[in-house]
Structure 1
């Protein structure tokens, strides 16, 4: 099992809409993530910097970041593009983070 973390950036004033959209995550997107080994996925928010911190537990060697060619994922990116920093293809600007400590 891998533990993966990455950060993204939310546009100012978009916390509530971001939270609402994730609380109503599409069933087909949730199923896709689970089918691809994502067993846990949490996103935290830093109010001072508008930084999103994401954490995943993933079986296998992939993560949600490896589903870029999937049409459901592309549709989600388009849906979320107005509330966060995105790349030209509407994928979130995502910076992987290195794990320095883990306590079991």
Structure 2
């Protein structure tokens, strides 16, 4: 299992809506993420900068790279696009985070 971390960016004034949408995550999306090998997925918010920091574990046989082609993932990105900085296809912009310390 590997750990993947990245940053995303919220638009101003949407923190409550972003949280509400994730509190009510679609069961089919949660199932898709799990089936794709994503485990222990957390997103943290820096309220000062509106930066989101995501950390997830990936199984060795994960299929995360195929998610952008899945209709449920595309639908979720379209749903979330008004709240975040996104690419032209509505995929949330991601900035990779490099590990610098880990205490097991």
User: Is the pair's TM-score, using the shorter chain for normalization, greater than 0.5?
Assistant: yes
SS at match of 1:73: helix
Task: Check if 1:87 corresponds to 2:87.
Answer: yes
Task: Check if 1:98 corresponds to 2:98.
Answer: yes
Q: Contact 1:2–1:59 (CA<8 Å) still a contact in 2?
A: yes
TM-score, scaled relative to structure 2: 0.94
| Structure 2, unaligned runs of 5 or more | none
How well do the aligned residues superpose, as a CA RMSD in angstroms? 1.4
How many residue pairs align between the two structures? Answer: 104
SS at match of 1:42: strand
Q: Contact 1:2–1:61 (CA<8 Å) still a contact in 2?
A: no
Higher helix share: 2
| Structure 1, unaligned runs of 5 or more | none
Structure 1 residue runs of 4+, over 6 Å off? none
TM-score, scaled relative to structure 1: 0.94
Q: What's the offset of the Cα at 1:62?
A: 4.1
CA–CA separation in structure 2 for the residues paired with 1:6 and 1:63: 18
Partner of residue 37, structure 2: 37
